[in-house]
Amino acid sequence: MANLRDIKRRITTVKSTQKITSAMKMVAAAKLRRAQDAIGNARPYATRMRATLEEVSKTPLDETHPLLAVHPERRVLEVVVVTSDRGLAGGFNSNVVKAAESLIKSRTGEFQQVGLTLLGKKAIDFFKRRRASQIRHEAPIGGDVRYEKAADVGRELARRYEAGEVDEVVLVYSQFVSTLTQTPVVRSLLPFTPPKAGLVAVAEDQALPFEIEPDPAALLAALVPKAVEVEIFRALLENQAGEHAARMTAMEAATKNTQDLIEKLTLQYNRARQAAITRELVEIVTGAQALE
């Protein structure tokens, strides 16, 4: 009977776990829909921002914007790593930190120093154990993504780049492709390079020549810092959508696994119970025969 009690207790525990994973799956699915809407709205804006910068960059300028200028020195590489604050999302966060770690190892010999800007508790926890001395800035995501957080990070990175404190900034995050696919992306952030001509289609009535007011230099001064902030904001939104999708997929798999385990334990319980009943019947029959 003790064996039966243990099996029954385990079935109850697994059922409780199944309720939790099922609830987490539904919550992640609801959040994913909102996150997909947010990233769907942000992508066209970011794409058009880069296209506009590419067009403005075609015009002759006496002096380019500091954030577009390439630093000949290779002293400091800043790596911005974006992960989630929470786990239970399969390999979502580990894939990003592995991509960041691979980037750092491959480019360590190219730069004298490597700095880290960490956005998300999972990235903070990972690199604090391995590269604590290289961390320059860290911040959790803190719930829903807000543009103000991305703007603060973008302004600080732009200030450090203009001041010559860093010579290149690379952004590492997870791009949301679909519910089942989230791909780690390594993208150069600074110097900010607009897309090359031909990558963005321009309608005939929008093609050059056109007039720029007040002037290209003033427009670049306004657009380039903004574009850096938008790129970080987009990375945060991509990361948010990917996190919810990965968690939904992971919890769905966990729910199916708990159901399989419940069925297996139920079968085991029924077999043990049948064996116990059979044993008791044998004992009764044996005792009755002994009394005859």
The per-residue pLDDT for range 129-142, each reduced to its tens digit, is 988 999 999 988 88
Judged by average pLDDT, the poorest of 20-29, 76-85, 183-192, 275-284 is 275-284
Tokens of 20: 């939790």
What pLDDT shows up at residue 145?
85
Please report, for residues 25, 146, 194, 249, 251, the alpha-carbon distance to residue 30 in angstroms, rounded to integers and kept in the order given: 9, 19, 35, 13, 13
This prediction's pTM: 0.81
What pLDDT shows up at residue 194?
65
Tokens of 24: 């987490």
Q: What is the average pLDDT across 176-194?
A: 87
Could you tell me if 186 and 106 are in contact, meaning their C-beta atoms sit under 8 angstroms apart?
A: no
What pLDDT shows up at residue 99?
93
What the chain holds in terms of domains, given with CATH numbers, is 2-26+249-291 (1.10.287.80), 28-247 (3.40.1380.10)
What pLDDT shows up at residue 155?
92
Distance of alpha carbon 95 from alpha carbon 185, whole angstroms: 10
